[in-house]
Amino acid sequence: MNPLRVAVAVARKDLLSEWRTRELVPALAQFVILALLIGNFGFQVDSRNANVIAPGILWMALVFAGLVAFGRTFAAEREQSSLEAMLMTPASPLAIFAGKAAAAAAMLVLCEAVLLPALALFFGSPISIELITAVLLATVGMSALGVLFAAIVARVRARELLLPLLILPLWIPIVIAGAQAVQSAFGLPGSYDQAIGLLVDFDILFVVLTSLAARFVLDE
Amino acid sequence: MNRYERWAAAAVALLLVAGAAIFFYAPTDYLQGPVQRIFYLHVSSAIAAYGCFAVVLVGGIIYLRIESLAADRFARAGALVGVVFTTVTLVMGMLWAKPIWGTYWTWDARLTSTLVLWIIYAGYLLVRRLAEPGRQAARLAAVVGIFGFIDVPIVHFSVTWWRTQHPGPIVVNDALPPQMLATFLFTLACTLVLAAVLIGIRYRIETLLDERQEVFEPAKVVHTPQPEASR
């Protein structure tokens, strides 16, 4: 079987099932709006400090929305025990993993499509190409790690407890580089090019490492 | 006294000698005063923690390759002992930072990455506790251990570029009096012995736990995935 076609088929299946139920993306959208609301209460935002606070709120909202999204990645497979069925086909586990990661990344991008305009509306921060590039690059690494660890915890008893504990520390490098890029995109000091370069490096590293590890995780 | 008790007694005796060297042999630091004596155990336990996590990494890789139960037990033992040494490093560092930097904590590269290290391996131990024992848990934990080990240098180097207060890794230079260097090297050796002894004892405990698992819960050794009714 052509691995690329397998990956596309798995991603298409996930996106189609999301399109039919429309469960996750609306929930995520509401979740990020709520995160912005709580950020507003927590920080006493006004026009002078909004630019300083906005990057922090953006990353908090994105990271926690990511946790919610990746926690649901294998929900359907778990409920129907269909992951075992998929793994019994001759399709390579890596292709299945890539398809799941692509679908999860697409849903996180939809969530970002709500988050960034809402941030611009409520915090007056500009939406720029630099901002979108940084967030999209971070999504790549976050999705690779997120889906790998979602697969790891999918068959563990206390998965809701474990996923945040495992994934958040491993996302920290991406958050460090992404936050620096967004801060400089919002006009705060810091080198944008250096941060983006770092983000690309982390993306490549994590995509390669998760592809190597996927075989051991999705192999039962 | 069995073999393990003798090892433990030897390690404790060595550390007491190291303690005596730290307080009575090493000279008092001219600038920092007696508080600088924290240095010897602080740095030694940090190095011992790195060693323990290297055991987790190597154990994880060997387990993924050949499914050796012994490698997995070493990884479990290394993670537990490593978390203990990381805790010691963090607490002693905070006690040292308060009089010298004026604060227990600062978001410095070294401090941040050490905290991340602690969180990752505490998470590793939680995986071991929460996942059903057996092949599955061992594989998952191996992946966590490998990613954890890679993450720490990344965090360290990515935060190095803009905030640094912690002194660099250079311990040995011309300004260090030979008594201080000797005390440090001796404390380091004793701490590494302690770490090895603790890993050895924990390895034995993990072996006994595995054997008990096999005797009392033979059904759980073979894991069959069950469809779940609950959401």
CATH number of the domain residue B15 falls in: 1.20.120
Size of interface A-B (CB pairs under 8 A): 82
Choose the mutation target among B63, B130, B163, B224 for the interface with A, i.e. most A CBs under 10 Å. Answer: B130
**Structural domain total, chain B:** 1
Out of A161, A169, A217, closest to residue B120 by CB = A169
**Contact predicate A15/A21, CB 8 Å:** no
- What's the pLDDT band for B231 if we cut at 50, 70, 90? very low
Contact criterion met (CB below 8 Å) for A117 and A182? no
Tell me the C-alpha distance between B196 and B81, whole Å: 9
Do A97 and A151 contact (CB within 8 A), yes or no?
yes
Interchain CB distance below 8 Å, B151 and A173: yes
| Average of per-residue pLDDT values in chain B | 84
A46 versus A7: the higher-pLDDT residue is A7
User: Between A158 and B72, whose confidence is greater?
Assistant: B72
Chain A residues in contact with B150 by the CB 8 A cut-off are 205, 209
- Does some domain include residue B42? yes
Asked which of A88-92, A181-185, A209-213 is least confident by mean pLDDT, the reply is: A88-92
Domain that holds residue B50: 3-25+34-163+177-214
Tell me what the mean pLDDT of segment A205-216 comes to. 89
Q: Determine whether B30 is exposed, middle or buried from the number of CB atoms within 10 Å of its CB (0-12, 13-18, 19+).
A: exposed
- Which of A123, A105, A163 has its CA nearest to residue B127? A163
Q: What is the pLDDT of residue B87?
A: 96
Cβ distance A172 to B228 less than 8 Å, yes or no, reads: no
Among candidates B130, B155, B231 on the partner chain, residue whose Cβ is nearest the Cβ of A161? B130
Tell me the pLDDT band of B89, cut-offs 50, 70 and 90.
very high
Find the domain containing A177 and state its range.
Answer: 3-217
Q: Mean pLDDT for chain A?
A: 88
Confidence of residue A21 (pLDDT cuts 50, 70, 90): confident
pLDDT, tens digit, for every residue of A131-149? 999 999 999 999 999 999 8
**Residue B193 pLDDT > 50:** yes
Contacts of A7 (CB under 8 A, 6+ apart): A95, A96, A98, A99, A102
Asked whether residue B172 is assigned to any structural domain, the reply reads no
Single-letter residue type at B195: A
Predicted pLDDT of residue A103: 93
Please give the average per-residue pLDDT across A56-76, as a whole number: 90
pLDDT exceeds cutoff 90 at A60: yes
Quick one: pLDDT at residue B128? 85
Q: What is the arithmetic mean of pLDDT over B103-130?
A: 87
Count how many domains chain A has: 1
Tokens of B66: 């050949």
Of B116, B227, B231, the CB nearest to A81: B227
Give the percent of chain B with pLDDT over 70: 86
Distance from CA of A156 to the nearest CA of B (A): 5
Tokens, residue B17: 């000698």
pLDDT at residue B215 in the model: 65
CB contact (8 A) between residue A169 and residue B140: no
A93-123 and A50-71 helices, crossing angle to 10° = 150
**Of all residues in chain A, what percent carry a pLDDT higher than 70?**
99
Residue with token string 């996930």: A14
Residue B140 domain-assigned (yes or no): yes
Does B61 touch chain A if contact means CB atoms closer than 8 Å?
no
Residue B88 binned pLDDT confidence (cut-offs 50, 70, 90): very high
Domain presence at residue B222 = no
Judged against a pLDDT cut of 80, whether residue B174 lies above it is answered with no
Q: What is the pLDDT of residue A220?
A: 60
